[in-house]
Each structure stands twice: as structure tokens, then as C-alpha cells.
Chains A and B, each alone.
Chain A
Amino acid sequence: MKTEKIIELKEVWKIYKMEEVDFPALQGMSLDVNKGEFLAVVGPSGSGKSTALNAIGALDVPTKGVIYLDGKDISKLSESELAQIRGKKIGFVFQSFHLVPSLSAIENVILPMIFQGYSRDERTKRAKALLNSVGLGDKLENLPGQLSGGQRQRVAIARALANDPEVILADEPTGNLDSKTGEEILKLLKSLNKNENKTLIVVTHDDKIAKEADRIAYLADGKVVDVKNRS
């Protein structure tokens, strides 16, 4: 099978300017991600996992180096171009869910579609379908505060899928969940990867998650030190 690269990081540096010293979070990191694959990114804290994920997800721009997303260099785009990429190509799933507390489950899922200008009918229909598919068809109007951790993460996953992105980026998606709920969330993410061919990148501490991935990238000191295919 011919593998097509969807993400390429070439010699990416990210240096945070602190008051006195500069802190290099990424130090010439290079990494390729194939379309449709499930990649786990592991490494000790401070190794640059989240920084790398943010750079891939157009949440942050690298200090140096190039990042290609779907063949397009996103390392030097303006803030509004980055917002477009985040809205259309990327779906984020965060450790602490990051739902908007004042909006109901369905409104949270609708929100990304508002920014992309979907019509009211279209986005309501889509949000309902997405919440149904993650098993929350009966919780549409609940506020995040009225949902359990696992349910909130399901809403977040539904929201990540709202604009039908090619890539799903998950930063410790099970970190705030008990192991049973965590497994369910992982299963859900994996099914998106397998059934809908979404490229899935998961940053994790959890070996159990890493073992499920197609490939594992090991990070240390802001660099990829090893990449292993699933045995």
C-alpha cells in the first residue's frame, strides 16, 4: 500500500522566551505522519510532546523549521489563516475536555460549524448525528456541568468531528478519566481512525494507548529519538 504523508515536520524549533533564559521546547524535531494512520507520541514530561502537537494543530507557530500539513507549509501563516486551518483540517481533543461551560452539548458541537458558516439547519442536523454516534443522543441539551467526564470527552470528540477534519489531535485524551471510561474513549477514537480513515495523533503517557497505535514516536529533549511500528 502506498503511504501518503499528511504531516511533515522538518527541523522544527520552538523556543519560548522566558524572562531571563530561553527555553527550547522543540529542538530540531523532524517527524512524518501518514494519512490515515494512528500515531502515538510518547515521552517524559518536558520532552515537547504537547508543543509538537500544538504546532501540528496550527495553535502555535514554530520559531524555526517547516511544517507541512496536507502539502501546505503552515509554519509561517497569519493568525487568520491558522484559524482557518484549525477550523477545517484539525479536530482537537484535550485532556480536560475544554468545553464551553455556558453552552449545551449540542451547542458545543455546533460552535465550530458556526465559525465555518454552516447553515442553521445543516449544523443542527450534523451535531445531532455526531452526538448520536458517540452515544449521547439523549444528552443534547445538557450543559457540560451536567455530564460525567466520559460524556464530556465524547462531546469533545463529537465537536472535533464537526467540520469533518482530516486529522484528529488528542492530547492525553484519557488522562482525566478512570481506566474503564478511558478505554471506551480510546475505542471511540480508534474507530474513527479505522472506520472513517481519520489520521489520529495521540499524545500520551499511557502505555496501553501507545500499544494500540500503528506507530509510536518517542520524544526526548524536543526531538524524536525513536519511532517504532506496532509489533
Chain B
Amino acid sequence: MINDYFLLAFKSIRHRQLRSWLTIIGIVIGVAAIVALISLSLGLQASIEEQFEAFGADRLLIAAQGFQGPGTQSEGITDNDVAVLERMSEFKTISYGSARPGEVEFKKEVKFPSVFGGENAKELLESTTDLADGRYIEKGDNTDVLIGSRVANGLFDNEIRIRNNIRISGKEFRVVGILKPVGNQQDDNTLYLTLDAYREIFGETNQVDFISAQVKPGVDVLSLQEKVKREFERQRGDKNIEVVTPTQILEQIGNILGIVQIVLVGIAAISLIVGGIGITNSMYTTVLERTREIGIMKSIGATNFDVLSIFLIESGIMGLVGGFFGVVLGTLISLGIGKFSTEAGFKLLVGVNPGLMLFGLFFAFLVGMISGALPARQAAKLKPVDALRHE
């Protein structure tokens, strides 16, 4: 019986092809938007997680807390704080450094990429990328520079190669290493110096922007985090220093992404609602147009329930067909954006997500049914004589 209803509904949709397709397009757009947006934000999440995973969870990240409000004095991190960590036995490597935009000149062309000066930066860099050419900088290499992939190729008109000289804030440096692409613009557009060289050209004495301290194997990161916090508080006499683990940062990013996701899907849902109203509208028109047909069906024995079912299934099918094409389109769009974005230097891990596709299909079918509910009810309630008399 129910397959017969499907067949009847399908025939009727096919009978008024143009309008059916126009109606279906409304659903296609809504579903495509939802699928593409969810898929892209999942891809974004995956990329961020991947970067953090490479970074490793076995470390503490330490940075000065932001402005605390009027009357408070926010003291940044200094070499003294690094020394506090160095006195502790739980750390394997302590990397630290500062970064700011710097004036970089190569073959008379001046740009302002990010300049990073750090100690033990090699350990940080190795976790996210590899050398494309040359070597890392060691302590004391105060006239050498290591550059990100986009600094080498893309930032300046001319490609920078190993042993080329570049000027940073007027001081000359020799390029000793070039990194492979990390996958985000920020890192790939950075130049790496020793902390001493950095302090010299920017006139800093002992400030440090951040510390990334890798924990020895077997040490519990969370209890060490508490210990480090207490130690800083005791040494500095304030709480202006923030100590977090990569996992905690990832959770924070996850929360923000979650909100962004809700907003995006909300926007996409609006277009799906518009698509649903399109179905309602089309189904009402159909009920009007086919009033006589409804009368015919009733005159040959169709019950109200039969008529209701046929019309509901009809709108459900339109939703489903729209959902199918929407899912396909949305997936293609998100894959396309993912590819484009990765090529442009921002890695997005967009994949085909069967669960999301099924959800899109089911949701579209549901929207179709709900949109068709009122018109179908109206169709079912028509009195056979009145319906037959309808011109």
C-alpha cells in the first residue's frame, strides 16, 4: 500500500516537472548550505586538532595574562620566570621567545612579516614542520636567520634562497635554513632568529612573550601545571601569568568553534526554512490544482487517510530529492573550499562525512513532510462532492 502511495506521489511530481524542480531547488540550497557549513567547520576543527596533536599534549604553555583592569599592574614574563622553570626538574626542554612584525628588506623590497626570536625554537618547529633546505639556528648564531616557506617563496618578488642576505630592521642576516609549509599563513610568513639577535634589533632586554615547556615522560601535566602556578605566584607575588596545557587551549577553541557552528548552521537553517515554505506553497497550489483529482480519488474509495498519505509522501519525496542534491552539492562545495583553502596556505581537513550526509537527507525529508502537512490535511478534508465540482 505504502509503495503504491510512493508511486502515485512520484507520478504526480513528475507530471508537473518544472514546478516540482523549482520547489526542490529551494530545499537543495538549504541542505547544501547546512552540509557545506557543518562540513567546513568540522574540517577546521580537524585541522586545528591535527596541529595541536603534532605539537604534543605533554607540555605547558606560559604567557603573560592580558590587561587586568585599571589599578592593576600587569607584569610580563621575563628571563627570571624562565629561570624559575629551569630550576625545576620536571621539564625536558624549555623553549621561549618573543615575536613582533619587523621591517624586512630583500633586494630593495621591504615587507613587514612576523619576526620571532627564541631559545630552543628548534624543538617547537620540529613538532610542526621540517626543514626544506639548510639547517636550524643554534644558540649564538646571532647573524643567521631561518625563514618560513612563504617568506622564501611568495612574500617577495624574488625567491629567497639559502645563503642570501636579508636585512631585518636595518641589520644584515644570512639565510641558513628554509622551512617546509606548516599549513597556516601566520607561521609560514615568519622569520626565526636567536633571542639575542631579536633583542638586539628590537632593543629589548629581558622580556619574553611566551614559554613552551616540554614535560619529561611520566610527569603528570595537570599536577605540574598547579605546581608551576604556585611557584610563579610565590616568586612573582602576583597571578599575572597564565599556565595552560595544549588540551585546555584545544577545549577553548572547541567551545568557540561550537558557537560559530551553531550560528552558521542557524543561518543555513533559515534558508532551509525558506525552502520548506516553498514546498508548503507549492503543495497548496497543487492541492488547489488537483482538487478535482482529490474528488476523483475519493469517489473511487480513497479515505481521508489515503489522500493525506499521498500528499505527505509527495512533499516528503520533494524534500528527499532536494536533500539528495543538496547533500551532493554541499559536499562538493565544502571539498572545493577545503582544497582551495589548503592551496592558499590555510590547511582545512575537509572530508566526506557519511553521517552528515545521512543527516542531511533525513532532515530534508522531514522538512518536506512538515511543510506538506497543512496542505495535505486540507486536501484530505475536502468533501468529495465539492472537490468533484471544482473547476
Q: Which residues of A contact B (CB under 8 A)?
A: 54, 57, 59-60, 79-80, 83-84, 86-88, 92, 94, 98-103, 107, 111-112, 114-117, 159, 162-163
Contacts and interface: CB of A to CB of B under 8 A. Distances in A.
Contact of B297 (A59, A79, A100, A116): A100
A163 B301 contact: yes
Given A83-B304, A114-B4, A117-B1, A101 B293 contact: yes
A155 to B, nearest CB: 12
B384 A87 contact: no
B299 interface: yes
B299 A86 contact: yes
B378 to A, nearest CB: 15
B15 interface: yes
Contacts of A117: 1
Given A114-B1, A116-B301, 7 more contacts: A59-B298, A60-B385, A86-B299, A87-B300, A100-B296, A111-B8, A115-B297
A99 B297 CA distance: 9
A98 B384 contact: no
Contact of A115 (B14, B292, B301, B384): B301
B304 A100 contact: no
Contacts of A101: 15, 293
B303 interface: yes
A80 B298 contact: no
A87 B383 contact: no
A69 to B, nearest CB: 14
Given A98-B296, A102-B14, A114-B4, A60 B301 contact: no
A115 B385 contact: no
B281 interface: no
B12 interface: yes
The 9 closest A-B CB pairs, nearest first, are A87-B301, A102-B15, A112-B300, A83-B303, A115-B301, A60-B385, A98-B296, A59-B384, A114-B4
Contacts of B384: 59-60, 86
Interface in B231-290: none
Contacts of A103: 8, 11
A77 to B, nearest CB: 12
A98 B299 contact: yes
A177 B31 CA distance: 50
Contact of A98 (B1, B8, B292, B385): B292
B258 to A, nearest CB: 47
Interface residues of B, number: 25
Interface in B338-391: 383-385, 388
A92 B299 contact: yes
Nearest to B306: A115
B202 interface: no
A159 B15 CA distance: 21
Contacts of B295: 98
B48 interface: no
Interface of B: 1, 4, 8, 11-12, 14-15, 292-293, 295-306, 383-385, 388
A60 B301 CA distance: 13
Nearest to B12: A102
B12 to A, nearest CB: 5
B286 to A, nearest CB: 11
Contacts of A162: 300
A60 to B, nearest CB: 5
A226 B244 CA distance: 102
Contacts of B388: 59, 94, 98
A159 B14 contact: no
Contacts of A86: 298-301, 384
Contacts of B298: 59, 83, 86
A165 to B, nearest CB: 10
A161 to B, nearest CB: 11
B383 A111 contact: no
Contacts of A88: 301
B15 A83 contact: no
Nearest to B305: A80
B360 to A, nearest CB: 29
B303 A115 contact: yes
17 contacts: A59-B299, A80-B305, A83-B303, A83-B306, A86-B300, A86-B384, A87-B300, A87-B302, A98-B388, A102-B12, A102-B14, A107-B11, A111-B300, A112-B301, A114-B1, A115-B300, A115-B303
Contact of A80 (B1, B293, B297, B303): B303
A165 B347 CA distance: 71
Contact of A102 (B1, B11, B383, B385): B11
Contacts of A92: 299-300
Nearest to B384: A59
Interface centre among A101, A116, A159 (most CB of B within 10 A): A101
A54 B387 CA distance: 12
A111 B14 contact: no
Interface centre among A86, A101, A102, A163 (most CB of B within 10 A): A102
Nearest to B303: A83
A92 to B, nearest CB: 5
Contacts of B383: 60
Contacts of A100: 293, 296-297
B256 to A, nearest CB: 52
